């Protein structure tokens, strides 16, 4: 949020003026206003319809960058050209495929490139993918689940799939900035049965060009656009327990989002805080 784009204050929330770069920010007065914001600003009964997917982050200072981009940044490799970054990415995936041999059970299914990335993402591989969910409430849970005393606001992002896909169609006829890939944001919804968490979380992935955050892609591809392609909803971190208790009553917890012993363990730990 830039100094030239100040927040407009209302009783329930502050917001930026209509965006000129496809990005708009809402800063809520409290977690309780989240429902009102969704009903009045995001899913109104009348007005333009948007098909958002959602992502929650514990810190508003974190960019919407993939784990592979963050790893390349730590290794001082993001300054490489796009073709070199794509080559490094392909080598990284090929190394994972070899490392995974014999570890996927008997008669494993054949996987496409993005399905390999999705499988690796599930098991901790640095990938060019970013996790999203179709539920704004699951996204809020991911934003608030972990304890943090240093963050003033947690953030829930909404990305308009239809607007991005329309822009993808426009860009697909243009020049490639990566080896064999056009400069689009892909939506990846794996059909593999090897990641049950995706089903429980209503999950899917985005894949932006290597070295590009979602914010950068939206702001550059929707320059001078008033459309709210990317939403940033900032919620006071001090409302963490109130948020988690509300979501628990909605059956949104680690028990429902992570159908494994990891979910059971983390739900049991969080129970000590909620009670």
pLDDT digits (tens, 9 = 90+) for 97-127: 999 999 888 888 888 999 999 989 988 999 9
Using CA atoms of 243, 244, 249, 253 in order, give the dihedral in degrees to the nearest 10.
140
In 3D space, the residue among 61, 22, 52 whose CA is nearest the CA of residue 132 turns out to be 52
> How is 9-59 classified by DSSP, letter by letter?
E-SSEEEPSSPSEEEEEEEESSTTHHHHHIIIIIS-SSS----EEEEEES-
User: Which pLDDT score, from 0 to 100, does residue 3 have?
Assistant: 42
Which pTM does this prediction carry? 0.86
Q: Tell me the C-alpha distance between 231 and 25, whole Å.
A: 6
Q: Tell me the C-alpha distance between 219 and 230, whole Å.
A: 9
Q: Tell me the C-alpha distance between 182 and 206, whole Å.
A: 14
User: Which pLDDT score, from 0 to 100, does residue 122 have?
Assistant: 85
Look at the chain and count its residues: 275
User: Which pLDDT score, from 0 to 100, does residue 8 have?
Assistant: 66
With pLDDT > 70 as the criterion, what percentage of the chain qualifies?
85
User: Which pLDDT score, from 0 to 100, does residue 225 have?
Assistant: 87
- Between the alpha carbon of residue 151 and those of residues 15, 57, 61, 70, the distances in Å are 19, 11, 9, 20
User: Which pLDDT score, from 0 to 100, does residue 9 have?
Assistant: 67
User: Which pLDDT score, from 0 to 100, does residue 194 have?
Assistant: 52
User: Which pLDDT score, from 0 to 100, does residue 177 have?
Assistant: 47
Residues of the chain with confidence (pLDDT) below 70: 1-10, 46-48, 173-181, 191-201, 259-261, 263, 267
Determine contact, residues 126/92, Cβ cutoff 8 Å.
Answer: yes
């Amino acid at each position: 949020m830039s100094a030239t784009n100040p927040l407009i204050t209302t009783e329930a929330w502050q917001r930026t003026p209509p965006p000129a770069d496809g990005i708009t920010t809402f800063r809520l007065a409290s977690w309780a206003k989240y429902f009102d914001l969704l009903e009045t600003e995001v899913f109104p009964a009348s007005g333009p319809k948007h098909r958002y997917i959602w992502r929650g982050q514990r810190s508003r200072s974190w960019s919407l960058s993939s784990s592979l981009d963050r790893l390349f940044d730590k290794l001082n490799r993001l300054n490489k050209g796009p073709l070199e970054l794509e080559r490094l990415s392909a080598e990284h995936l090929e190394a994972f495929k070899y490392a995974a041999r014999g570890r996927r059970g008997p008669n494993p299914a054949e996987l496409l490139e993005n399905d390999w990335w999705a499988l690796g993402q599930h098991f901790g591989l640095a990938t060019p993918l970013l996790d999203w969910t179709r539920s704004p409430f699951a996204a809020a849970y991911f934003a608030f689940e972990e304890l943090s005393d240093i963050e003033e606001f947690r953030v829930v992002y909404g990305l308009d799939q239809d607007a991005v896909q329309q822009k993808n169609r426009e860009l697909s006829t243009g020049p490639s900035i990566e080896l064999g890939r056009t400069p689009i944001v892909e939506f990846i919804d794996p059909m593999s049965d090897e990641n049950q968490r995706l089903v429980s979380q209503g999950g899917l992935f985005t894949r932006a060009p290597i070295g590009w955050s979602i914010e950068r892609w939206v702001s550059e591809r929707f320059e001078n656009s008033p459309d709210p392609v990317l939403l940033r909803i900032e919620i006071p971190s001090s409302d963490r327990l109130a948020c988690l208790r509300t979501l628990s009553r909605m059956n949104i917890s680690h028990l429902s989002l992570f159908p494994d012993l990891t979910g059971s363990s983390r739900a049991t730990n969080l129970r000590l805080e909620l009670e």
